[in-house]
């Protein structure tokens, strides 16, 4: 089966420009060309693009995906490298979750500064957002 880039994009749920980008980044194999010089894709392209999209949905970087694809393309290799890659990614996610929880708490603290309708100059949220000490503490927390 050979399909054009538009059909590949539709089947994978992404944009044509994304397919081209992944090709340019070396994540997708070069497609065959038709007599009219259209890109022609097959089942292997569909599977690879779905793999890439799944990895992206897990917030993996292109570098991580490139590594995974390299390992996937060498099925006789040991998969220990994949475990290390995933462990590292999990740690990065944990750091981001902690930062997001701190951000949430900061927003909750700000929200608690204002309990109803009052003039803007008395709004505890705006006062809190203007407090440079509060901003410095938030910036330090965000840069774990």
Q: Say what the pLDDT of residue 134 is.
A: 59
Backbone dihedral region for residue 102 (phi beyond 0: left; psi -120 to 50: alpha; all else: beta): alpha
Give me the number of domains the chain comprises. 2
Q: What is the pLDDT of residues 79-115, one digit of tens each?
A: 888 999 999 999 999 999 999 999 999 989 888 888 7
The whole domain housing 17 covers 5-72
Task: Encode pLDDT of 33-51 as tens digits.
Answer: 988 888 899 999 999 999 9
Q: Report the distance separating Cα 102 and Cα 144, nearest Å.
A: 10
Whole-number pLDDT of residue 144: 47
Token pair for 7: 């059909």
Question: Taking each helix axis from N to C terminus, what angle separates 43-57 and 5-12, rounded to the nearest 10 degrees?
Answer: 40
Asked which of 72, 90, 120 is the last residue of a domain, the reply is 72
- The CATH number of the domain holding residue 64 is 1.10.1660.10
Task: Return the DSSP state at 25.
Answer: T
């Amino acid at each position: 089966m050979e399909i054009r880039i538009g059909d590949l994009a539709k089947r994978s749920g992404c944009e044509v420009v994304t397919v081209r980008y992944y090709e340019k980044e070396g994540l997708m194999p070069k497609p065959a060309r038709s007599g009219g010089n259209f890109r022609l894709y097959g089942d292997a392209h569909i599977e690879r693009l779905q793999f890439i999209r799944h990895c992206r949905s897990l917030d993996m970087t292109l570098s991580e995906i490139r590594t995974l694809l390299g390992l996937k393309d060498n099925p006789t290799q040991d998969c220990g490298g994949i475990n290390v890659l995933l462990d590292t990614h999990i740690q990065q996610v944990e750091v981001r979750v902690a930062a997001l929880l701190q951000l949430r708490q900061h927003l909750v603290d700000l929200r608690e500064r204002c309990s109803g309708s009052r003039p803007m100059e008395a709004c505890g949220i705006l006062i809190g957002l203007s407090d440079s000490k509060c901003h410095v503490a938030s910036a330090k927390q965000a840069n774990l």
